[in-house]
Structures are given as structure tokens and as C-alpha cells.
Amino acid sequence: MVAFLIVICGLLFITCLILCLEMIKTSGQLDTLCEVLADVKSGNLNRRILAQKAGKIREICYGINEIVETMQNRIIEQNISEQSYKRLMTGLSHDVKTPLASLIGYLEAIDGCMVKEEKRDRYVNIALMKAIRLKEFTNDLFEWVKLDAKEKVFHFQELDIVELTRTIISDWLNVFDKKKIAYEFQIPETECLMFLDKMAYERMINNLFQNIVVHSDADKMKLEMTVSGEKVCIIITDCGIGIEEEKLPFIFERLYQCDEARATDGNGLGLAIVKELLAAHHASIDVESSVGEFTRFKILFFKNSNRQLQSE
């Protein structure tokens, strides 16, 4: 009996010793937790906690590491966003101030009788064109802001995309003729009904045509539309100066212009708006180009995806 009690006491002692050691280790890990949390609180988001053994402490460590990593990623995203908006505001300032200063200069010359009578009408026309371009830029900017803020309201309805495209094309024929751009259009003869926002679709095609007229220096363009099952594919190609391969990934970014040194009438928002409008239609756009040969935009609509728009 005495021997049994001695064994029991020995086991209890060992158990207590193990518990004490575990408590010491746990206390040490808790001290490490407090130290890391204090470091994170001071702004060091690179700290991580290493838990040596499984258990609740390890789960807590993993949880804290995930929270810190999430905070770090959000701060990085916020910094990127802030830098992006700083660049945006810098670009906007330049794109507004430059034509505005020029417009004011022409108007002051006219108002101050600084130009001869024969030049007066020409100055008035130049001032009018600059005012129109400034208005177009402002409209594009407001359109982009609404899209970027997800505040754009779309009105989807079932429309014949073939007939709608023909109507848009008819408005551009005179422009292509004046710019001496030969054109070719391959569009199905049969009706193709899809759920579209009419104004948004018109804006997409108009912006792509405008891109050809303003930026491509092309002497030929082509639009092909094909309907295959549940897919509608629109390919718009221009035989112009093309775009360098390293610049292709950025052409849909806001205010991006491939040739910053060359003065154009563009504002760097047209293609960004196209991409956002297509995303709202659950559609996609890709681009390929070869310098000095062509630039090709490929738009892909999915009928099943567009049917969902009726209920959204």
C-alpha cells in the first residue's frame, strides 16, 4: 500500500512538473504575442509569430498572422490607389489646363482686337473647336468617374445588335471618307437579338472608331461581326501605325496614351471607358498589334450572360 502511494505521488509530481513546464512555455509564447502585437501596433506590419506546437496558442498565432497580412495588403493597395489617383489628377490638370489656356489665348486675342479682320473668323473657329474638345473631355471624364465608382445606371433591353451596329456605322461613313480611310464591313444579314444598353453599346463602337480616326494614321479599316451559337464576335482592324508590344497591356488604363510626345486630340479615356462598358455587359475585349502593320480589337459577347442582365 505504501509503495502504491509512493508511485501515485511520483506520477502526480511528474504531472505537475509537466504542467508547470507547459505553463512556462505558454507564458513565454504569450509574452512573444504581446511583443509582436506591440510591434505591429507601432506600425511594423512585417512581424509574424511562429508557434512551435499545435493547440489553441498556435491557432491564435495563425489568426494574428492572417490579420496582420491582410492589413499589410490593404495598406499596399491603398498606397497604389493613392499613387494612381495622384497620377490621374496630374494628368487631368494637364489635359484641362493646356486646352483651356489656349482657348483663353484665342478669345483674348479676338476680344482685344489683336488680330486682323480676315483672321478673326479663323480664330473664332479654332476657339470653338477647342471648346468642343474640352467639353468632350469633360463628358468622357464624368463617364469614367461614374463607371469607376460603380454609379453608372444601365438600361438593358432586347435589341438587334446587327441593326444597331449598322446604324452606328452609317454615322461614320462621312468621317472615314474625309479622313481617306477605306472601309469594309462584314455583318450578318440575319437578326441577332441580345440584351444591351443601347447608349453604352453605341459608346463602345464610337470610341473604337474614334481611336482609329485620331490615333492610328490608318488608310484602311475593317469591321467583322460573326454569330456562332451563343457567341457574338466583333473584330475591328485598322491598317495603321500599330502599337508596340510592351505598350499593349496598358492601353485600356485611364489617361494612358501610347505616344505622349505626339500631340493628338485624344484624352486617354476612350479605351478605358470601352473596357468598363463591356465588363458591365459581361463581355470581353482583347487587342493585338504589329508595329507599322495593324491593330486589331476583338470583342466577345455571350448571349447567356447577356440574358442575365435583364434581371440584374
| Chain segment 62-107, per-residue pLDDT in tens | 777 777 777 777 777 677 666 666 666 666 666 667 777 777 777 7
* Residue 116 CB burial class (10 angstroms; 0-12, 13-18, ≥19): exposed
The number of folded domains in the chain is 3
Q: What is the pLDDT of residues 259-291, one digit of tens each?
A: 544 445 555 678 888 998 999 999 999 999 999
The tally of CA atoms less than 13 A away on the side-chain side of residue 96 is 11
> CA-to-CA distance for 173 and 181, rounded, in angstroms?
9
The structure's pTM equals 0.62
My answer on whether 203 and 247 are in the same domain is: yes
My answer on whether 283 and 234 are in the same domain is: yes
My answer on whether 188 and 61 are in the same domain is: no
Q: Does residue 81 sit within a domain?
A: no
My answer on whether 187 and 300 are in the same domain is: yes
Q: Does residue 85 sit within a domain?
A: no
Task: Residue 29: give the domain boundaries.
Answer: 2-75
pLDDT band at 157 (very low <50, low <70, confident <90, very high): very high
Q: Does residue 164 sit within a domain?
A: yes
My answer on whether 34 and 109 are in the same domain is: no
Assess contact for 164 and 198: CB atoms under 8 A.
Answer: yes
Considering only residues 164 and 72, tell me which one the structure prediction assigns the higher pLDDT.
164
Which of 61-65, 127-131, 158-162 is the least confident region? 61-65
My answer on whether 133 and 216 are in the same domain is: no
Please identify, among 148, 170, 196, the residue that sits at the C-terminal boundary of a domain: 148
